[in-house]
Amino acid sequence: MSNGEIRCVGLFKIYNEGEPNECRALNGVDLTIELGEFASIIGPSGSGKSTLLNLISCLDTPTRGEVYIEDVGISGLNGVQKARLRREKLGFVFQQFNLIPTMSAAENIELPMRFKGTPKPVRNSKVEEIIELVGLSDKAGNRPSELSGGQQQRVAVARSLANDPQIILADEPTGNLDQNTGKTIMGLLKRLNEEEGKTLVIVTHDSKIAKNARQKIQIVDGKIV
């Protein structure tokens, strides 16, 4: 066993096991992603990409097998420990942005730090730093409805960085964006990998996006191919 990686070992996710409507969303996945890597997970719709990402994200538990993050097996963690792992080590970017509509861009970015209990002055300077990093300083006070899709996704990327996670997990982050805006978001994520050393795991069904990644993981019918 070595440190510094995400490791999936014999991972199965079987919905409705033993029932007539049983669905093997993941069918024995073994996978290692080194920290600092830029990995893409590509596969057709329904192949198990989101299921895999949700297991790595500690959002869901496998039917069998284990996910290790830096040698810590997730199944051994209680709810509080899982929440801490999610808050401190992982950042999330979703296809639907998932911003809070009543909050400004800056407040959305600040939120994970409030959950963590970061003091207000530290939060303020961190928000300023990362909103600049994603090129939205002039939109800090705007609500999501006052921003374009690409700008909203930049806010979501900034929010994922709030607690300075080592790992960023993104599920179809460009799925709701036009091609050019998608390219901008991918450029931003790529820069975070190259310049800030963030581990990037991006789920996509777009081969153009996937080919940007250094580690290309292909999944079909719940299996790595």
57 touches ligand ADP (CB under 6 A): no
Q: How many CB atoms lie within 10 A of CB 24?
A: 16
Q: How far is the CB of 182 from ligand ADP (least distance, A)?
A: 17
187 touches ligand ADP (CB under 6 A): no
For 124-149, the DSSP string reads HHHHHHHHHHTT-GGGTT--GGGS-H
The C-alpha atoms of residue 167 and residue 177 are separated, in whole angstroms, by: 23
Which residue among 5, 43, 97, 174 contacts ligand ADP (CB under 6 A)? 43
Residue whose CB is less far from ligand ADP, 43 or 165: 43
207 touches ligand ADP (CB under 6 A): no
DSSP 201: E
Q: How far is the CB of 213 from Mg ion (least distance, A)?
A: 17
Residue whose CB is less far from ligand ADP, 155 or 200: 200
Where along the sequence are the contacts to Mg ion (CB under 5 A)?
A: 49-50
The C-alpha atoms of residue 159 and residue 83 are separated, in whole angstroms, by: 17
Comparing CA positions, the residue from 166, 207, 165 lying closest to residue 186 is 207
The C-alpha atoms of residue 123 and residue 109 are separated, in whole angstroms, by: 9
Which residue among 39, 40, 49, 123 contacts ligand ADP (CB under 6 A)? 49
Which residues bind to ligand ADP, rule: CB under 6 A? Answer: 15, 23, 25, 43, 45-51
